[in-house]
Chains A and B, each alone.
Chain A
Amino acid sequence: MTAEQHPSQQLDDLVHQRVRLGILAVLAQGDRADFTFLKDRLDLTDGNLSRHLQVLEEAGYVAITKTFEGRRTRTWVVATKAGRKAFGEHLAALQQIIDLATGDAS
């Protein structure tokens, strides 16, 4: 097998990072996720999560919106179509890597 054919070539560096993969995993289930929910589930600080979101936003994988509920501002993160596609392809590539290594590839 050549390096070009290896499924690892389909891995997206932006998505491959553990936290960013986690963000997209949560967003794959719902239409949008609360900043605090993501921070708690991924066990991150505000700054750390913000940096990862910024990377994803610059890649066009997520969009960030704010809503006002009384005096409180809530930050919502939404996966874009490109983000959902990148996440799906990344999972498929990871699965292919496992299948190839374990001889399950069809």
Chain B
Amino acid sequence: MESTNDPQIDIDEARRLLAAADDLQAEARREMAAHGWQWFLVWAPICLGAAISALTPIAGWYWLVGVPVGIGGTIAVSNRTHERSGVHRHASGYWWIALAMTVINFGASAVLADEVIVVVVWVVFGFGFTGFAILERQPGAAALFAMLAVAVGIAGPLVENTFSLYVVTGVVFAVAMVGVAVGIRSMGAPA
């Protein structure tokens, strides 16, 4: 590493440089936030659709459509982000999370009883969405989804009607996703 020869760096210069670096980092975060909210909006209607479909005859095969739509949306958002954003993160993290949610949920549905899987599915999605929020550097959103996942996991064995829990959780997740998307988008709006 090269070092400066002048040990008496002007304190004002140090402050200016730190402030400039902070400003640019904030700009980079705003640029990413201007596009990062879309990840969450992709999954909000899918969560809501799961809750609504549970009240209809299509409940049994909803996720056969919902998951591919979610993954397709995730890929579409990553392509759009890639094209439009001047600074961004690699999309592979999102794809891996979407893939993990799919494999775990379909795997679990093959071996677990229906009353268990309706809880497991939201726990898995909750932690998956936590992963999305971590990738977006949104600690508040990550904490929210992790708490929801844990809450559903705890409530699952305690409630008698896991079907109702499934429906309510789907709506709660959808609302949380929209809230997070709006929050992140407002962060990315020009000051």
Q: Do A and B come from one complex?
A: yes
Q: Which residue of A lies closest to B92 (CB)?
A: A31
The verdict on A12 contacting B2 (CB below 8 Å), with A33-B28, A98-B15 known, is yes
B14 touches A22 (CB 8 A): no
Contact of A95 with B by CB under 8 A:
yes
Q: Of the candidates B1, B15, B24, B88, which one forms a contact with A32 in the assembled complex, judged by CB atoms under 8 Å apart?
A: B88
The interface size of chain A toward B, counting residues with CB under 8 Å, comes to: 38
Contact of B17 with A by CB under 8 A:
yes
The verdict on A86 contacting B1 (CB below 8 Å), with A16-B17, A30-B88, A91-B18 known, is yes
Contact of A57 with B by CB under 8 A:
no
User: Interface residue tally of chain B, by bracket?
Assistant: 20 to 34
A97 touches B87 (CB 8 A): no
B3 touches A10 (CB 8 A): yes
Contact of B174 with A by CB under 8 A:
no
A94 touches B8 (CB 8 A): no
A37 touches B87 (CB 8 A): yes
The verdict on A37 contacting B86 (CB below 8 Å), with A16-B4, A94-B14 known, is yes
Tell me, rounded to whole Å, the shortest Cβ–Cβ distance linking B187 to chain A. Answer: 13
Contact of B64 with A by CB under 8 A:
no
Contact of B89 with A by CB under 8 A:
yes
Chain A residues closer than 8 Å to B3, beta-carbon distance: 9-13
Contact of B160 with A by CB under 8 A:
no
The verdict on A95 contacting B18 (CB below 8 Å), with A10-B3, A11-B9, A30-B89 known, is yes
Q: Which residue of B lies closest to A11 (CB)?
A: B4
Contact of A6 with B by CB under 8 A:
yes
CB proximity to B under 8 Å, residues A6-37: 6, 8-14, 16, 18, 21-22, 25-34, 36-37
A4–B22 alpha-carbon span in the complex (Å): 28
B28 touches A21 (CB 8 A): no
CB proximity to B under 8 Å, residues A89-104: 91, 94-95, 97-98, 101-102
Apart from A26-B28, A29-B32, A95-B18, what 11 extra A-B contacts exist at CB < 8 Å? A11-B3, A25-B25, A26-B25, A34-B85, A34-B87, A37-B31, A41-B27, A41-B86, A97-B9, A98-B11, A98-B15
A binding-site residues for B, Cβ under 8 Å: 3, 6, 8-14, 16, 18, 21-22, 25-34, 36-38, 40-42, 69, 86, 91, 94-95, 97-98, 101-102
